[in-house]
């Protein structure tokens, strides 16, 4: 892994397994067109007072990113765009990418103290594809436990379900089920989480490795190229390293980039020592 601290020459090409400490909008033009298998975009949400989160209009900001990523993705490649529930409202992304799902990342433990409205308890992860068909969707790598007791399971197997207008049998699959589009099984990090790199990274910055792991396993294969233009403290990049994916990371805050570099190096060491695991 190489960390580049100098501004990138606009004529150069961004290289795999590099972390660029720079503004994403300076480096993205240097990423090869149709070169990425997957983009993980966990950038500004436009809701906090952090300098990096201040954007004039989050929907216009996201539309601009969607346009850029549609150029950088291979046909069938995937984009996961993080945000708040309104993050792609009233913009027309359809000429660029195809929206397959809006995944709800449900966080029941968030402090619910709203007095005039229902407290927002979830983030959205917009799952886009370039074209109509994903080139990769590794369902078997992301199945989750099917929490049905035995008696109910037998009953389930006799319950008819409708698929493409025809009745079929609901099947219990021992390998687990599709995680669906509401994810309540992956908790937000807390100040007690082992993987938290520091208090300042809590809530606004650092995502759980298990969340990134699910996205990366589902929509890429070993050796694929994953682009993370707002890398933060490097969660997705460290997971890429653990899972044998190549990556291009961009982060403008040098302190976060330094933490990201440490995590990627640690992931490399863990691979060598056969110690791979995701902390709770
Ligand atoms: C939500 S955080 C990403 C967290 C990351 N997923 C993680 O788990 O560590 C967004 C990051 O985007 C960075 N950022 C915001 N605007 C940027 C820009 N124009 N170029 C590069 N990085 C930027 C911020 O410094 C911040 O670290």
For every residue of 233-262, DSSP letters joined together read TTHHHHHHHHHT-EEEEE-S-HHHHHHHHH
Residues of the chain with CATH 3.40.50.150: 2-143+178-273
**pLDDT digits 0-9 by tens, 26-74:** 999 999 999 999 999 999 999 999 999 999 999 999 999 999 999 999 9
Q: In this predicted structure, what is the pLDDT of residue 167?
A: 65
Beta bridge partners of 247: 226
Find the 159 Cα to ligand 1 centroid distance in Å. 47
Higher pLDDT among residues 238 and 279, named by residue: 238
Find the 51 Cα to ligand 1 centroid distance in Å. 11
Of the listed ranges 31-40, 94-103, 166-175, the least confidently predicted one is: 166-175
Confidence band (pLDDT; 50, 70, 90) for 269? confident
Average pLDDT value for residue range 249-253: 97
Given a cut of 60, whether residue 279 has pLDDT beyond it is: no
* Contact criterion met (CB below 8 Å) for 34 and 65: no
Alpha carbons 272 and 266: distance in angstroms, whole number: 10
pTM: 0.93
268: helix, strand or coil: helix
Higher pLDDT among residues 201 and 106, named by residue: 106
Burial class (CB in 10 A: 0-12, 13-18, 19+), 209: buried
Q: DSSP letters of 56-91?
A: S-HHHHHHHHHHHHHHHEEEEEEEEEEE-TTTTTT-
Given a cut of 50, whether residue 169 has pLDDT beyond it is: yes
Nearest ligand 1 atom to the CA of 204 is 1
Q: Is the CB of 196 under 6 A from ligand 1?
A: no
What the block records as the tokens of 18 is: 């590099």
What the block records as the tokens of 138 is: 């590794």
Q: Is the CB of 237 under 6 A from ligand 1?
A: no
Could you name the CATH architecture of 2-143+178-273?
3-Layer(aba) Sandwich (3.40)
Q: In this predicted structure, what is the pLDDT of residue 266?
A: 94
Q: Is the CB of 213 under 6 A from ligand 1?
A: no
Q: Is the CB of 240 under 6 A from ligand 1?
A: no
**pLDDT digits 0-9 by tens, 113-127:** 778 888 899 999 999
């Amino acid at each position: 892994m190489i960390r580049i601290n100098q501004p990138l020459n606009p004529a150069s090409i961004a290289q795999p397994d590099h972390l660029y400490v720079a503004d994403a909008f300076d480096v993205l033009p240097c990423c090869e067109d149709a070169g990425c298998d997957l983009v993980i975009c966990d950038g500004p949400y436009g809701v906090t007072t952090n300098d990096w989160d201040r954007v004039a209009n989050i929907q216009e900001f996201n539309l601009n990113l969607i346009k850029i990523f549609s150029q950088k993705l291979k046909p069938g490649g995937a984009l996961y765009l993080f945000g708040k529930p309104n993050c792609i409202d009233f913009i027309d992304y359809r000429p660029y990418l195809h929206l397959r799902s809006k995944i709800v990342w449900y966080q029941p433990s968030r402090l619910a103290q709203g007095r005039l409205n229902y407290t927002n308890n979830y983030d959205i992860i917009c799952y886009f594809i370039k074209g109509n068909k994903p080139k990769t969707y590794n369902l078997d790598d992301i199945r989750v436990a099917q929490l049905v007791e035995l008696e109910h399971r037998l009953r389930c197997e006799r319950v008819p379900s409708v698929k493409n207008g025809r009745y079929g049998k609901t099947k219990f699959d021992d390998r687990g089920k599709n995680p669906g589009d509401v994810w309540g099984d992956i908790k937000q990090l807390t100040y007690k989480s082992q993987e938290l790199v520091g208090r300042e990274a809590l809530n606004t910055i650092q995502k759980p490795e298990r969340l990134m792991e699910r996205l990366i396993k589902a929509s890429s294969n070993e050796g694929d190229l994953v682009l993370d233009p707002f890398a933060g403290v490097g969660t997705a990049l460290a997971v890429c390293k653990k899972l044998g994916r190549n990556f291009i990371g961009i982060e403008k805050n040098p302190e976060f980039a330094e933490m990201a570099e440490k995590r990627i190096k640690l992931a490399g060491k863990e691979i060598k020592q056969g110690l791979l695991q995701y902390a709770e």
